Structure 1
Amino acid sequence: AHTEPVDIHLSEATREHLRETLRLFVATQPGTHAVPFNRLSTGTLNLLVFAMLTYIAELKGEDSVIFAMEEPEIALPPHAQRRLVDFVTQRMGQAIVTSHSPYVIDKFDPSQIVVLGRDESGTLSSSPVVLPQGFKPKQYATNRRQFAEAVLARAVLVVEGRTEADLVPAVADVLEQDPSVDYDHPDLVGVSVFDAGADNAVASFAPLFKSLGKRVYGIHDTPAKPVSEEFAAKTGDFTLYKVIPYGGMEDLLTIEVPAHVQRKFLSVADALPDYPEHHGRLEEGMDDAQVAALLWKVLKKRKGDGYAALLISQCTNRSELPASIVDFLLKVDADLRTPPVSGPDSPATSEDGVTGEAE
């Protein structure tokens, strides 16, 4: 018989009962106020799950653990994505992740990356990333982030410099807004614009992206010197390729953009803090030739600083855009609307993601 006036009996508490009566509160930095576990952000919850898996790995022995995670970047800022991948690859015996984040992908070497895609029938295929013969490691290293984005794309448009990389999306923005033009924006159809860094480097990326099963397009101005046989051979790997009939983008814009748009741009650019004042300003009484000459000098001085894209943003429809760029983008758009040719070298119609593996 029990003689004590107070006794404790364990009840038949179920998991559901515990959920109703027990709640975990967590305080996240920089704040100190604790909030219920289930009210934390998606990214914080993902990191807590990751921390739990890490603890399990430590108990089992890190080198014996295969870490597999789908889309580890969900709801995480870039610095957290990089830190997570660094930790996993350093502490786990093997890591396998699927990802759509360039911040995750560029933490893996090309030999550790497999590009996944599905054709129109839904068949899943994979392509290892193999740098073509003669492709310098430095070319990959200096373009690592761009490459990480490009491997996620359906197709890649290779341009020669920063100015062109800014200008092409700006032209696409105006084309998309023109109701008289049937055109799909590159972002809508999965085209990544890739800055090769120079006109003589554009063709070197064609074999690389073609080997990944992608449609690859190339455009650059007329080189000052004749291209080499090696360069010419690589251009054969482009799905579409164009050499614009100008020695530089400044020439193209001053000739193909209407004078009234040039005037509008110069009046807007005049208020920019980095406007090159010593080249002069737009003044009343200037004729079209004087305006074009001033525009050329301003664009040349601020090459790569976004001035060309700002000029394009002053255009309101296709008729005001540079015809050489428009014609090429429309051909790219038409090509993307055609089904791929079947065969081992045919481009994939879409890319579902990238698998990164590290051992």
Structure 2
Amino acid sequence: MRIAKIKIERYRGIKECEIYLTGRTVLVGDNNIGKSTILEAIDLVLGPERLSRSPVIDEHDFYAGEYLDKEGNPVEINIEVIIVDLSDEQQRYFRNHLEWWDNENNLLIDGPPPESTDKESVVAAIRLGFKGNYDADEDDFTGRTYFLSPKKDDGTYEPFRTKDKRVCGFLFLRTLRTGSRALSLERGSLLDIILRLNELRLPMWEDVLKQLRDISVAENPELGISGILESVQNSVQSFVPSDWADNPHLRVSDLTRANLRRILTVFMATGSIRDDGTEYAAPFQHQGTGTINALVLTLLSMIAELKQNVIFAMEEPEIAIPPYTQKRIIQSVSSKSAQAIFTSHSPYVLEEFDPSEILVINRVGGKLTGVPAKYPPSVKPKKYRDEFRRRFCEALLARRVLITEGRTEYDSFPAVARRLQELHGEEYKTFEELGVAIVNAEAESQVAPIGEYFRKLGKTTFAVFDKQSDENRRAIESAVDYPFEAQEKGFEDVILEGSKGEALRRYALMLVNDGDWPSHMSAQKPTETIPLDDLKKALREFFTKSKANGSAADFLGQCSKDEMPEFLVSIVKSIQVIIEKRSKR
């Protein structure tokens, strides 16, 4: 069982949206772009407890807060979810509502002709909907879920009830919000779900309530409260019959079963030892955030094992959890669920997904789109796993991407930006502050295709490259938003010809004095009196042979602004100006 398609209209920040999901999907994109809204929309349709909340929706759930149109008529929130890969049991249960979905074309088949449904790519599906609107007569907001097939003679649809939703098995873990109630017995908590899946009924409520009622509080006459309560009783009885205000006394509370469900929670040892040698226990929600998340995920795994056929939706599993645990979470949840849908800002999480399972979310003018990342141009799966994966994932999480032609540029530009910010913080920002990720194309021929790839994913793309032929330059200029071409053929020449001689000499002598000048280049070892041209020749060979060590970036990191190549400084400033201007639109 999995969600194949979700369509959203006028819900929160989404005016319209139509996206397709795989068996395992991670949604990536900027903050407040709509990733969590997608999961909340699914929960409105499939969440067994969702419609029991009051209110189901409110003014702020409508796109731009508009729940009435210009004529004063109610505006509707509409959400449609198509579920496929139904088990035999689910197909029997939903038999009156089955439609047919073509996995190959991501298309719902209009009608059930045998020649279409016999195709291997065509599977049974159910189509479900949520409709929410403002009810003027009740002066309140309403929401309901229903099957979208078949339509009744009167034009309405059969309701999709809580018992139907439990057959689908959707679980939504919100960021940091479930932890505080995960181990309570409140309706819909994770512990409550586990108890219900085990068909356990707890006959303890009356016993607990009776014990609380029987606890005496402040009845010691020395406290003085008993005397005050007796005076209250005597005063009241002067106005009402004596048996109306008989024997007032304090009790712990007037708790009901519902109160107890919310209040009862699991206590856990904290590791703190009291003076009497016993270990202090605190409520579950008072544990560390990492512990809460790990335990919540343990409960989710238990639910998946009990239910067998479940769709998990999870916001940001990386919160307060170290990278190796993030990876284990993704692996565990994915292996135990029919479908797993995540949102994330962590490259460690993204590394666990094939690029085709990463859905890049963008929104323009209220229209939200989701584009599968897929493999970058000319990057084979093995190379992706071994070399490219981390920086690719970081670029997917960024709003802006700078594509460099080679390793030296890849190391040098962030070093220049950091150094300028360090020296002139009021004028310059680092690429991290600007939200720019850097990708090494590793060849001049790959700058254009990789630039085009990221631009199609909705990223603002910059590219820096050596002097090109007219044909190559035109290809790059058409593929990226902002191209920057050097006038030298090699980037080492950009550094050596553009930097001040005293900075080059200072760096070279530092290498010699620190014992870092390569022994195989002893014949070219720099000295105080070495001619500048000879020094540049020696450093050119040094930079070329030590690309992997980031030596060019080290050099730039010890320069002043005036000692750096003007070409590098101007590009860093230009990128900052472009981003700041676009941000003000």
Fold similarity call, TM over 0.5: yes
Give the partner amino acid of 1:57.
Answer: A
Change (3 A) 1:54 1:290: same
Q: Which residue of 1 aligns with 2:74?
A: none
Partner of 1:165: 410
Per-residue CA distance 1:277-331 (angstroms, 9 max, x = gap): 33233322223223222222221221221111110011122x2111222222222
Contact 2:466 / 2:488 at 8 angstroms: preserved in 1?
Answer: yes
- Cα displacement string for residues 185-218 of structure 1 (whole angstroms, at most 9, x for unaligned residues): 2111201011112222222201111111111111
Q: CA RMSD in A?
A: 3.2
Q: 1:151 aligns with which of 387, 396, 405?
A: 396
CA shift for structure 1 position 267: 2.5
Aligned CA distance change for structure 1 residues 251 and 125 (closer, same or farther; 3 Å): same
For residue 89 of structure 1, what is the aligned residue in structure 2?
334
SS of the counterpart of 1:107?
A: coil
Counterpart position of 1:191: 436
1:170-196 CA-to-partner distances (Å, cap 9, x unmatched) read 111122234397333211120101111
Question: Distance between the aligned counterparts of 2:501 and 2:434, measured in 1?
Answer: 32
Aligned counterpart for 2:488 among listed residues 243, 246, 250: 246
SS at match of 1:11: helix
SS in 1 for 2:454: helix
| Structure 1: unaligned runs, 5 residues or longer | 1-7, 28-32, 342-348, 350-359
User: What amino acid maps onto 2:530 in structure 1?
Assistant: M
Conserved? CA contact 1:282–1:291, under 8 Å: yes
- Which of 353, 359, 375 lines up with 1:108 in the alignment? 353
Cα distance, 1:261 vs structure 2: 0.7
Partner of 1:296: 540
Contact 2:376 2:450 (8 Å CA) reproduced: no
What is the aligned partner in structure 2 of residue 51 from structure 1?
A: 298
Check whether the contact 1:175–1:181 (CA below 8 A) recurs between aligned residues. no
SS of 1:115 mapped into structure 2: strand
- Cα 1:69–1:305 change in 2 (3 A) is same
What one-letter code is carried by the residue in structure 1 that aligns with 2:337? M
CA contact 1:217–1:240 (8 Å) conserved in 2: yes
Structure showing greater relative contact order (alpha-carbon pairs closer than 8 Å, 6 or more residues apart): 1
Give the equivalent residue in structure 2 for 1:127: 370
Alignment partner of 1:183: what SS? coil
Structure 1 letter corresponding to 2:512: D
Q: Which amino acid aligns with 1:338?
A: K
Deviations 1:56-109 (A, max 9, x none): 121112xx1111111101122222111211122222111011000011112222
CA-to-aligned-CA distance 1:18-73 (integer Å, 9 cap, x gap): 66xx732277xxxxx99755554322220110001111121112xx1111111101
State the match for 2:510 in structure 1.
Answer: 268
Worse-matched range after superposition: 163-172 or 277-286: 277-286
Report what 1:287 is aligned to: 531
**Greater Cα radius of gyration, structure 1 or 2:** 2
2: distance between equivalents of 1:252 and 1:93?
Answer: 54
Partners of 1:129 and 1:76 in 2: CA distance: 26
1:259–1:291 CA contact under 8 A, matched in 2: no
558, 561, 576: which one pairs with 1:314? 558
2-structure distance, mates of 1:115, 1:307: 35
Quote the residue 1:207 is aligned against. 452
Q: How far apart, in 1, do the equivalents of 2:329 and 2:389 lie? A: 19
1:99 match: 344
Give me the whole-angstrom Cα distance separating, in 1, the residues matched to 2:280 and 2:298.
19
Number of the residue aligned with 1:3:
none
Which amino acid letter does the alignment assign opposite residue 253 of structure 1?
A: I
Q: Which runs of 5+ in 2 are unaligned?
A: 1-206, 214-254, 272-278
> What is the identity, as a one-letter code, of the residue corresponding to 2:320?
A
Paired with 1:45 and 1:107, the residues of 2 have a C-alpha distance of 23
Contact 1:176 1:185 in 2 (8 A): yes
1:334 lines up with 2:577 in the alignment? yes
Query: Which secondary structure state, in structure 2, belongs to the residue aligned with residue 208 of structure 1?
Result: helix
Say whether 1:11 aligns with 2:211: yes
Give per-residue Cα distances to partners, 1:101-126, cap 9 Å, x unaligned.
Answer: 0111122223322223456x7x4733
Cα gap change, 1:260 to 1:94, in 2 (>3 Å) = same
Q: Deviations over 1:218-276 (max 9, x none)?
A: 112236xx5876x8535412111123122322212111111111122113223556531
Distance across 2 between alignment mates of 1:40 and 1:275: 52
Contact 2:360 2:373 in 1 (8 A): no
Normalization by structure 1: what TM-score?
A: 0.78
Q: 1:336 to 1:26 in 2, by over 3 A?
A: same
The answer as to whether partners of 1:163 and 1:305 remain within 8 angstroms in 2 is no
Q: Percent identity at matched positions? A: 32
- Matched-pair contact (CA < 8 Å) for 2:357–2:373: no
Equivalent residue letter for 1:53? L
Q: State the one-letter code of the partner of 1:11.
A: Q
| TM-score, normalization by structure 2 | 0.49
CA distance in 1, matches of 2:344, 2:451: 24
Classify 1:104/1:271 alpha carbon distance in 2 versus 1 (closer, same or farther; 3 Å). Answer: farther
Distance in 1, Cα, partners of 2:333 & 2:557? 44
Matches within 5 A, 1:218-233: 218-222=463-467, 232-233=474-475
Task: Judge conservation of contact 2:402–2:463 (CA < 8 Å) in 1.
Answer: yes
- Out of 107-116 and 84-93, give the one that drifted further: 107-116
